[in-house]
């Protein structure tokens, strides 16, 4: 998996397909890897904070990771249009409105565009997501795990202890809540297309990884995960 450039922030709009999916062989390889990881049933252990790694560094790394996973999923398997998805729904019981100066109903493509742009702005803000890490053990961890090789550039060279803002974990929770909404819309509104495109193993792999991570670190309240409650309960 280390030779697949999946975990790279796209230069284009976040919900557009990433370059890796232009190569069918790499796409199939990714799906095989995802299926194998899913069958290994190791996410519950894999998401736990490694020894010697600071919590904020671990959260920051996974903000980037899941941002990119959603970018891939949305850009590849969610052919939303303003006409087909005039509202950002997750099934018939849940509708999401954009939290701006005034809450307003918006189409799913517009909502995800705004959401991913907002998240990308946070990730690129070095005052919120510093580009250094303070634990040498974390550097070793990244280098030993091919799964994260393509993200290690984000942290740059090891320097002093990373200085995260006081509100960092609050921002992380908002990021994960908004990413959840993209997952929920994709699964509940477009899962048939995902299945037709042979992407279901990757979607389930990503959801299982996401679910275990947010539960481990209590990033989303259970009430906010109700749209995918039956799916998560199957994990």
Sequence length of the chain is 235
- Is 63 known to sit in a ligand binding site? no
Burial (CB count <10 Å: 0-12, 13-18, 19+), residue 157: exposed
Q: Are the beta carbons of 129 and 60 closer than 8 angstroms?
A: yes
209 is in an annotated binding site: no
Task: Report in angstroms the alpha-carbon separations of 139 from 11, 35, 63, 101.
Answer: 26, 28, 17, 41
Q: State yes or no: 185 annotated in a binding site.
A: yes
* Chain centroid offset of residue 49 CA: 18
80 assigned binding-site residue: yes
Give dist(CA 105, CA 99) in Å, integer. Answer: 10
* CA-CA-CA-CA torsion sign (128, 53, 62, 187): negative
For residue 178, list its beta bridge partners: none
What does each C-alpha distance from 157 to 56, 57, 93, 120 come to in angstroms? Answer: 17, 14, 47, 22
Measure the CA–CA gap between 15 and 81, rounded to whole angstroms. Answer: 13
Q: What are the binding residues for Zn(2+)?
A: 80, 85, 185, 190
Q: What are the binding residues?
A: 80, 85, 185, 190
């Amino acid at each position: 998996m280390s030779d697949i450039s999946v975990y790279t922030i796209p230069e284009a709009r976040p919900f557009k397909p990433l370059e890796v999916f232009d190569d069918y062989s790499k796409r199939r390889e990714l799906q095989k890897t995802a299926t194998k990881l899913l069958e290994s049933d190791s996410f519950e252990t894999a998401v736990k904070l490694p020894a010697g790694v600071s919590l904020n560094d671990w959260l920051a790394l996974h903000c980037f990771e899941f941002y990119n996973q959603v970018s891939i999923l949305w850009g590849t398997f969610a052919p939303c249009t303003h006409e087909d998805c005039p509202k950002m729904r997750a099934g018939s019981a849940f509708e999401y409105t954009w939290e701006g100066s005034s809450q307003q109903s918006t189409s799913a493509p517009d909502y995800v565009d705004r959401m991913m742009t907002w998240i990308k702005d946070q990730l690129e803000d070095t005052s919120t997501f510093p580009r250094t890490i303070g634990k040498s053990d974390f550097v070793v961890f990244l280098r030993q795990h091919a799964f994260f090789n393509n993200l290690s550039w984000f942290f740059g060279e090891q320097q002093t202890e990373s200085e995260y803002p006081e509100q960092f974990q609050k921002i992380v929770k908002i990021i994960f809540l908004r990413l959840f909404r993209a997952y929920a819309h994709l699964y509940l509104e477009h899962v048939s297309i995902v299945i037709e495109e042979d992407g279901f193993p990757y979607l389930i792999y990503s959801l299982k990884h996401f679910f275990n991570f947010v539960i481990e670190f209590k990033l989303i309240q259970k009430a906010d995960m109700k749209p995918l409650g039956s799916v998560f309960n199957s994990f």
